[in-house]
Amino acid sequence: AGLDTIEGTTAYTTRGAGTWGPPVRFLVPPEISLLTLTRDA
């Protein structure tokens, strides 16, 4: 999880906020990220 650059494109991945299907999030706390986007001057 985190900020990365893939083939010139910036991507941000997280662990997610919950589950889908069986609850298998063992020792991985959920998270909700707040990103503030700014434009370079």
The tokens describing 22, both together, are 């069986």
Q: In this predicted structure, what is the pLDDT of residue 14? A: 86
Chain segment 1-41, per-residue pLDDT in tens = 789 999 999 999 888 877 777 777 777 788 888 989 899 87
DSSP 8-state symbol, 27: T
| Helix (H) or strand (E) run with residue 41 in it | none
